[in-house]
Amino acid sequence: MGIAVKKRISLPSKLAKEVEDISREKGKSLSAVIQDALRLARKEIIKKEFFQIQDYWSRKAKEKGILTEKDLERYLKTYIINSLRKYLELWKIVSSVVNLTLLYTECLDCHSCGSRNPD
């Protein structure tokens, strides 16, 4: 743990009595009981957020028909294959444009086809 920082807090009398009772029962300081409670609260918040995220992505998966690990594997393979096909098509277009540009530049430089350099 890091350096302890002193803080002053106010508690309703009933809650203060509960903290004191727990402190006595567990043989811990009031500070340790409060620290434990805060850690537990933080853990519960993180757990709740996790289940919310899990629920969101489970719904998204069901919308796409993904119910099992095999379904997920099939979906990912299809997604990857389709993505690769798109990139391959884009690559073909880009390389065609580059090749045409290079051919045009060579033609302008060599004059062997009878064309004249526009310079």
Domain assignment of residue 41, yes or no: yes
Do 70 and 118 share a domain, yes or no?
yes
Do 74 and 39 share a domain, yes or no?
no
**For 52-92, how does the pLDDT look when each residue is reduced to its tens digit (9 = 90+)?**
999 999 999 999 999 999 999 999 999 999 999 999 999 98
d(CA 16, CA 24): 12
Give me the number of domains the chain comprises: 2
**For 24-51, how does the pLDDT look when each residue is reduced to its tens digit (9 = 90+)?**
999 999 999 999 999 999 999 999 999 9
What is the distance of C-alpha 66 from the center of its chain? 19
pTM of the model: 0.56
Domain membership of residue 111 as a residue range: 65-119
Q: What's the CA angle centered on 46, arms 19 and 37, to 5 degrees?
A: 10
Do 114 and 103 share a domain, yes or no?
yes
